[in-house]
Chain A
Amino acid sequence: MNSNNVMTGRTSPRRRKSAHFEGAIVKWIFFGCATLSILTTVAILVTLIYQASSFFFEVSLWEFLTGTRWTPILKPRAYGVLPLVSGTLLVTLIAAAVALPIGLMTAIFLSEYAPDKIRRIIKPILEILAGIPTVVYGYFALTFVTPLLQGIFDNLIIFNALSAGLVMGVMIIPMVSSLSEDAMMSVPRSLREAAYALGATRYEVSLRVIVPAALSGIIAAFILALSRAIGETMLVTIAAGATPRMSFDPMESIQTMTAYIVQLSLGEAPVGSLEYNTIFAVGLLLFFMTFVMNLLGFWVVRRFREVY
């Protein structure tokens, strides 16, 4: 290390100068690294918009956003994205119906009820759940959950929104619970103690004091989890089917925006063709939907945070 030299005062002016020079260069390199993240966002926007624009030269934005038929590969071709959007929303709604209540209750349990020992067992299990690749969830939905559901519902076909949505719900439980738990953990102890001192029971403290106090964080957790569900790809590609359909019937096969992008990518559509550019138009829409939700999530946290 150079510090020895500095201590004994034997640093030659030239060495100190070169060290200073090195420090300045390094600073600029690190600055470049940090700026790369902004370049990434710019690159995403530029490539998506550029590629999608050649699509929108041939298909009007209006037709794309309001059309109710999506058959870009089959004749007669139609480029209305709404069936893909409705498929995406259907799966997301089913997932939300599972993950939001269960994730929130899990968070309350972990934050307000569970003793430290049990927390230490449950948290790693949830972390494993969050770390399992989505292909695996797709396999699970298709080979385990769908046959199980077919035992209950006779009219359920192999590829269906219900099974994909339920499994996606389980998949995002850890995200909802860990973000909500963080929010509840940051509620000051004094609020809990005050409520207990007034004679409130544990569930009253949890539901009437802690949850309202942590509400901004919980809502942000919900929004971010839903944004994750909208962008989820492999699970719905495997289990939800490849039939773009304007329907909110969970028993049927549908296609999500993400699944369409994968389906077309698999086929290696010729670069520059109209089909090839459809995936960028769909991708751009997907990016905007998740972008708005993510910003909304951050905004809710900042705007409605209770300051203690």
Chain B
Amino acid sequence: MESNNITSGQLKPRRILRRTIGGFVYGLFLLSVCVGIVGLLALLYEVLTTGLPWLNWQFITDYPSRHPEEAGLFSALMGTVWLMAMTAIFTVPVGVGAAIYLEEYAPRNLFTRIIEINVANLAGVPSIVYGLLGLALFVTWFELGRSILAGSMTLSLLVLPIVILASREAIRAVPDSYRQAAYAMGADQWQVIKGVVLPSALPGILTGTILAMSRAIGEAAPVIAISALVYLTFIPSHPMERFTVLPIQIYNWVARPQDEFRGLAAAGIIVLLVILLSMNAIAVFLRNKYQIRSEE
């Protein structure tokens, strides 16, 4: 350090300089925080001002149409509901099962380590690659066609790492004293998991699952690879039918040059964001409720 060379005469001006730099840097940090906030506000402003005039009940209950005034997103909305329900059915048992294995059963060996690295790595694979996997594996090889079933299996693989990571965290948060108490009562490992660990971890697992589903709802790329672009004027009635989802319908409208369709896209985005925000609100609510309980 330079402190040896500093005499009292030199000290004062440097302090002022350092304070000035400090203030400048602080301003810079503050400004950079604002970039994200301003970006979000601008996005919401643009979407709301363009979309609100187009948003009405008819828009929700109508099918897509070439005439912007008559167009709606009912088939996309129902497709999203179908896809999410089936994705949840596939993902939750497998994701929670994998998390239980990794937290409660897995020995500390190379194979466990490989699974862990693999899960982390899968979370970083681009979503369109999952779309290609689903297209080749489910649509073509399993001959499921461009169906809801193929789409939901693809999305399940996509969100599985998220559910596994979240469930592991929830299971890890269950205090060891709970387990030891149950073992002391003579329960075996499966009874401990079934009767003690899972019930205590449930709110955390639920929160993680809701967040994973909200990620899946917004995904367009992998679903486009599965479903391609279809013009649907009916609601799917079983899992083998073709489908479209909200983000694809929005993309479809954005991609058209006419201004009216931009308005429709913005209105669709409002619907999508409302769904996402309510899911997030439920997740936050569950998390807070759970935190209060565990502090008692």
Contact = CB atoms under 8 A, between A and B. Distances in A.
A32 B93 CA distance: 12
A47 B250 CA distance: 30
B120 interface: yes
Interface in B61-92: none
B118 A38 contact: yes
Main secondary structure of the interface of B (DSSP, over half): helix
Interface in A121-138: 122, 125-129, 131-138
A228 B190 contact: no
A113 B29 contact: yes
B128 A3 contact: no
Main secondary structure of the interface of A (DSSP, over half): helix
B273 A261 contact: no
B128 A30 contact: no
A158 B265 CA distance: 18
B4 to A, nearest CB: 14
Contacts of A218: none
B47 interface: yes
A43 B46 CA distance: 41
Nearest to B115: A34
Contacts of B42: 140, 144
B136 A50 contact: yes
B92 to A, nearest CB: 11
Interface residues of A, number: 96
Interface stretch (A68-76, A244-252, A288-296): A288-296
B28 A266 contact: no
A111 to B, nearest CB: 10
B53 interface: no
Contact of B25 (A34, A43, A126, A203): A203
B191 A41 contact: no
Interface in A59-108: 98, 101-102, 105-106, 108
A182 B117 CA distance: 19
B287 to A, nearest CB: 12
A132 B272 CA distance: 9
A30 B100 contact: yes
Interface in B125-165: 125-133, 135-137, 140-141, 157, 160-161, 164
B291 interface: no
A131 B96 CA distance: 23
B197 interface: no
Given A3-B185, A129-B40, A38 B115 contact: yes
Given A37-B118, A133-B272, A234 B247 contact: yes
A191 interface: no
Contact of A33 (B98, B217, B228, B255): B98
A34 B102 contact: yes
Contacts of B132: 47-48, 51, 261, 279-280, 283
B240 interface: no
Given A134-B218, A232-B126, A33 B182 contact: no
B115 A37 contact: yes
B280 interface: yes
A7 B219 CA distance: 51
Given A113-B29, A139-B250, A262-B128, A30 B50 contact: no
B158 to A, nearest CB: 9
B266 A109 contact: no
Q: Interface centre among A102, A110, A133, by most B CB within 10 Å?
A: A133
A298 B280 CA distance: 29
Interface string B256-296: 00000010011001001100110010000000000000000
Contact of B189 (A23, A33, A102, A128): A23
A201 B37 contact: no
Contact of B98 (A37, A132, A231, A266): A37
Contact of A291 (B28, B33, B125): B125
Contact of B101 (A34, A138, A170, A271): A34
B124 A224 contact: yes
B137 to A, nearest CB: 5
A-B pairs, 9 with minimum CB distance: A231-B126, A133-B218, A33-B97, A23-B190, A30-B101, A105-B32, A233-B221, A6-B186, A47-B136
Interface of A: 1-3, 6-7, 19-20, 22-23, 26-27, 29-38, 40-41, 43-44, 47-48, 50-51, 98, 101-102, 105-106, 108-110, 113, 122, 125-129, 131-140, 142-144, 170, 173-174, 177, 201-204, 206-207, 224, 227-228, 230-234, 237-238, 258, 261-262, 265-268, 271, 279-280, 283, 286-287, 290-291, 294-295, 297-298
17 contacts: A27-B101, A105-B28, A105-B29, A109-B32, A133-B217, A134-B221, A135-B218, A140-B42, A140-B43, A143-B50, A202-B22, A203-B22, A232-B126, A233-B126, A262-B224, A283-B128, A298-B121
